[in-house]
Structure 1
Amino acid sequence: MRTLFATIDRFATRQPFVIARGTKTDVEVVRVELRQGEILGRGEGTPIYYLGDHALAALAALGQVQAEVEAGATRADLLDLLPAGAARNALDSALWDLEAKASGVRVWQRLGLPQPRPMLTAYTISLGDPATMESEARRVSGRELLKLKLGGEGDLDRVAAVRRVAPHARLIADANQSWTGLDIEALCHGLHALGVELIEQPLPAGADSDLAHLRSPVPLAADESLHDRTSLDSVVGRYRMINVKLDKAGGLTEALALIHAAGQRGLGVMVGCMLSTSLAVAPAFFAAMHAAYADLDGPLLLARDRACPLAFSGSDVHPPEPALWG
């Protein structure tokens, strides 16, 4: 017999985290614990606020399926029991962890993956004026891959300022839906000249048809427009890549299916994360083993992390140890 426990944890950010939609100084996450005898499986999900999700709603959703989960619902059952979101992600992750500990077989082994090694991850620089972003880029100038949060007007100046102090870094950019009314093609060419190799979500979700005939020298990646397999077909022909996040997909189980389906449609994959602790990023690490880009810096953006956290060294994130997850 299983027992399910769920709660809300709050974590402060290391410094204000600024994107085009606003500023965050803390994040609420939902933590799930599944106990089966002496074995404990854990998972974490971050509610995606722009989709209307929030921690109390996720907690309520978990309460509604508690009986089914404690009676033995599987990860496959969760796809019907809960919609994609933080609640399902936390529960799916806890089930993966429980299964690994019960069997003595690590998650990467269950997935047939090679022995995991440290992985290059992007490090995010918050949106700000050019001088502020330049200062932050100078502080982390040794990092190999920087992700720049952009906001519309003045974006070329922002990226140029970062490039001045990080001439050798690889750059990716995230517009967070902020380029409405701008000359997107000109922006893409300008960012290409500055060495940007990927641009996320230039327009609001739902306006993707405006990208169908865009000629961009930089690949565009769908983020807010792409959640799980149900939204995959809507981005084909408009984006060349997708950003897979476990909170959007509703867990590692759906994320892996989404990555496979994207590959069949010729789409490249980036695996990202929300503001979250190492407990949430651990399962995303294994999804990112299938991806061209990993953006798994969530724990680095928080003032504190879980016990037995992921190790970060240089520009790399290390695979999780069993004491953390999986």
Structure 2
Amino acid sequence: MAHSVAVIGTGAEPDDPGRDGYAMAYHHAAGYENHDDCDLVACADIVRENAEAFADEFAIDDDAVFENYGAMLDAVEPEIVSVCVPPSIHADIVVDCVEHDAVAAAHCEKPMADTFDGAKRMAEAAEEHDVQVTFNHQRRFSDAVRTAKDLLDDGAIGELERVEFAAPVGIFDYGSHSIDLCNYFADEARAEWVMGQVHYDTENILFGTHNENQAMVQWEYENGVHGMGGVDASGDGGPAGAFACHNRLVGTEGTIEVGPHGDEDDEEPPALRVRTDGEWEAVETEDGLHDWAFVDRAIAENVRCLEAGEEPELSAANALKATEIIFGTWESARRRARIDLPLDIDGNPLEEMVEAGELDPAPREEDE
């Protein structure tokens, strides 16, 4: 029997994605449609026209289109729910889904939440109610990433000493992918401490949440591996340039780069390369790091884990480890100190620094 699936937060049709959304629900829905054991049966969006357009696209019955997600959960009783709303309302909706008797799995868009308390609430609810809660860090399912992990596990660069990343946009939005991948390469170890600094002078609001313009962060895992990275959302040079690749793995006998950056005049760089004897060697992979097919793969793996009773890679517990590093970076910048983990805050230090006037970003030119 197929798993019944519902989507909360359809968004507008994704013809022109921008700073306020990519209509990720459409990509989730395509993933469920491509899975033989899933049946997309309902959708909800506070803008009814958006929900109706989504229903037309995916052949959902008119009586299964809702504006209120709670009414949808009660009427349809879906087994799986995808949550594709802005981060500020992730926690309340995901917890409501987890607490509903019919829901066995909730798959939510990243980042987890705009407060650390919200992120913790989702992880705690998932454990308390024994419901599978996952977050869409789909880049883990890139062949370039999986091949890099295989090479690492096979000892191609010796013992892992450090994981690195460079991220555009911000440490919260895009950076959640970057740090999640660092954790994946470090065998899901938890960080013991984090130290960071941010620069924020021009508003960088994505999906309703502040993201700094530039950042630097360093941390150490409980297994002794170090992590570090840089963010540059300004486009005029910054800390990300020190790393110049999506992720780098530094071992005792060599280096692996996933998504190395190329110069403007160079040919397209490979998705994956390895250096063990002073020379870089490209490694052929089926794909790079940016493909909507990864959402399909993430959904397929979540469904497999649900059926097998296994803990999924994209679990709330794993997502929380990355989220703790992000919020720890902001708290370090606020306290001007190293932050020992577990993190002892509930809110959002970056938002709170803006509200307190400690950071005063000017409006973006296009918003003035």
Which protein has the larger Cα radius of gyration, Structure 1 or Structure 2? 2
